[in-house]
Chains A and B, each alone.
Chain A
Amino acid sequence: MDSPTTNNHNHIHTHHLNGASTISQPSKKPKLLSSSFITPAEIHEEFSHHDPSVARINNGSFGCCPASVIAAQHRSQLHYLRQPDNFYFNELKKGILQSRTIIKDLVNAKHVDEISIVDNATTAAAIVLQHTAWSFHEGTFQKGDVVLMLHYAYGAVKKSMEAYVTRAGGHVIEVPLPFPVASNEEIVREFRKALERGKSEGKRIRLAVIDHVTSMPCVVIPVKELVQICREEGVEKVFIDAAHSIGCVDVDMEEIGADFYTSNLHKWFFCPPSIAFLYTRKIPKGGSELHHPVVSHEYGNGLAVESAWIGTRDYSAQLVVPAALEFVNRFQGGIEGIKKRNHDAVVEMGEMLAQSWGTHLGSPPDMCGSMIMVGLPTSLGIACDDDALGLRVHLREQFGVEVPIYYRPPRDGEVGCVTGYARISHQVYNKVDDYHKFRDAVNQLVNNGFTCALLSG
């Protein structure tokens, strides 16, 4: 059986469909044993399917996947299509277990049972929060018991809270966070205040949902400290929504100590869409288990086994974790080296942009991973969310720059402050030119007297 990790074939997947571009695997066999690492030319080839006309500085939204991992995925898909029954009976379970085992080691979980593979963090959130809803319905939780989340929680998670917690009678408290932020202490302070609010009505705080790396605005949250505070303050369970974290910041389940933790492997760990892991800390026998909402014949066999079969689907993205790990290990320092270099580069580029535009960074370097928020010149006149989106579209269509823009409303008393931030990212495929292109685009807009008000005309 051709394992997805085997890189022995020189595949060229060319497409003769109206000049569509190609995905090709590097022609050199990767040297697995020598001390030479992947070269810049090889990296370029691995991402040659990226649109070359675009300065792609939004790795945070949709991630990226190198050609060799895509090739591994194709092989897996082909293998299934060739004889699906045989694949189902003899290969699938093994392959998923292999992926889960690799993830367990990557994130320092104690048991592979604690690692389930799901589609994405959005799905993981639904799994955890559905369980919370059930606890309210059953009466294990009382109406009015509190679930805490950050104000900057991801939009889908906020909706999930509405659908599962508020609807079931839970009381949701949002922790406001300062942005721009200067230190972890600012975040801890707000978190403690929110905990106090939660406990003040004599209700229990059943669950705290904490981002590891917030999406917009993007800041690395001191999760280990917050989890400790939760334990001290009697918060029953902590769920870390770490959609961005694996491959971007340090992820250690024993260190962080949360009850539930999820991260997408298709954002910063080079897997194709889509795959995420949901870590669930082992609970004593008889404790209430999480379930996948799509019930199959595996129902009741534990979340990991349930998630590994939710009906006939393409599981190939979940089977190529070995190939992603192989890719990562072609780099000096493996994933740690990649993280460090990405971090240093994004900080350097962020500072370059802030200097050129006369603005500032949204957080200090030690509160960012591979993404950083950079203030945009106030003359651009970003005055609402629509402006931010409009500017993003304008940058994409007129300048070939892909970067998400965040609108930061002025606080009471603030005048003439920066109201727009760009969330720039750095991944192994980025070049300095990408950020120069962005810098020059913004400077051109400023020089031309551009304001967002012009977009709605």
Chain B
Amino acid sequence: MYANPNSIINPSLWPNGPAPGCFFNFPGNGVTPSTSNGGIITRTQSPVTTGTSILGIIFDGGVMLAGDMLGSYGSMAKFRSIERIIKVNNSTVLGATGDIADFQHLQAIIEQKVIDEDCADDGFTLKPKALHTWLTRVLYNRRSKFDPLWNTFLVAGIEDGEPYLGCVDKIGTAFSDSKIATGYGAHIALPLMREALEKKPQMTKEEARALLINCLRVLFYRDCRALNKHQIATITNEGVTIENNIQLDTNWEVANFVVGYE
């Protein structure tokens, strides 16, 4: 095991044993790279290709999700046409922030689920709350094994005629609300969404769309990992529509006022 760095000040109770006041890594836990595996870490440590915020809002008659189409490779804007919002079935839509590989892995599993359901042909289809609960179980389980799927998911849909919007993050924290934003959107877009919904709790579809587009614009100004190209998904009783490749109009006139650093 590794030497206790504080062993001079806090001597361990026995060699390679616990030192009072310090964390103790119990031997045989497998969390630290063990020599049997050649010292290789086989658990997720950090995401590679990531997606930034997804915004979701419930309006009068449905739910709307919006997010940009960027997969960032660290600080490089590498993949500029990634669909981070996918249609699950005619009443459910899933959006993901975080590692794209983990999202695509789950996407394949969910698509297979839908196919199996089609084949069963028993009249039952996957409902948004059910998908949300299933995702929570999967993510919490992975986190408990110290190998999380590094994503925050947004599940949106119509459940028994009522719009539903739920969120799960990589450690399994799940909740549902009438307005949710993941990633940087939680700091930047959520205040705007909360204020708009306080003024008018039952928005129309057009108002919700305008609000989300405004939030996406502010995110493009202030989030370094955002892109100008978006997806907007609308789920109503009539069905699901996902619009891709929506460009934003941005106003850079402020630049005329900025001269120097003083």
| A-B complex is real | no
A interface residues, Cβ below 8 angstroms from B: none
